[in-house]
Amino acid sequence: MINILFVCLGNICRSPSGEGVFKTLVKRENLETEFFIDSAGTSAFHVGEQADRRMQKHAAKRNIYLTSRSRKFAIDDFAKFDYIMAMDNDNYMDILSMDKQDIFKNKVFMMTDFSPLYQGREVPDPYYGGGPGFEDVLDLLEESCLGLLEIIKKNHEL
């Protein structure tokens, strides 16, 4: 089983979308039994909430359905997950700052590192913006998740 965790600040916009996009891709390729896919937030601001309604609406237009409830990233997640995908630089630094013994850094990645088009970019926080922000997030995630899945398939001979 390959365990993947998508992480953002609130776990109601970007990381539930990463989770939804990746689950949709994996389902399309009949690889569901190979993966456990989840998401979390570095903050507890929205714990227990469903994904932001605007994010859900934009995702649904692409046949991507967001079903998760927000939870906070926990120390145990470092051991549980093989790939921990940060959406922006703050998420990346916040995750690493919880790895006090500096032993899990090789599991923590920037989401866009896996996209040939968007490498080096952050997935911007759409929470305070309008519609185009949500579409931009989905474009970035679709591109990056495709790249991530291709690399995982190679690494794990799927």
Is residue 19 a contact residue for ligand 4NP (CB under 6 A)? no
The two tokens of residue 64 are 């991507």
Q: Is 12 in the site for ligand 4NP (CB under 6 A)?
A: yes
Catalytic, out of 13, 14, 52, 77: 14
DSSP conformation letters of 52-105? PHHHHHHHHTTT-----B--B--THHHHH-SEEEESSHHHHHHHHHT-TTS--G
Determine which residue in the list 4, 5, 6, 14 makes contact with ligand 4NP, applying CB under 6 A.
14
DSSP assignment string, 9-51: SSSSSHHHHHHHHHHHHHHHTT-GGGEEEEEEESS-TTTTPBP
Which residue in 9, 25, 37, 95 binds ligand 4NP (CB under 6 A)?
A: 9
Residue 79 near residue 32 (C-beta atoms within 8 A) = no
Q: Does 122 bind ligand 4NP (CB under 6 A)?
A: no
Task: Determine the interface stretch with ligand 4NP among 10-18, 19-27, 75-83, 114-122 (rule: CB under 6 A).
Answer: 10-18
What would the two tokens of residue 42 be? 């570095």
Candidate residues 13, 37, 64, 138; the one interacting with ligand 4NP per rule CB under 6 A: 13
| Active-site hit among 52, 88, 125, 145 | 125
Q: Which of 5, 6, 10, 64 binds ligand 4NP (CB under 6 A)?
A: 10
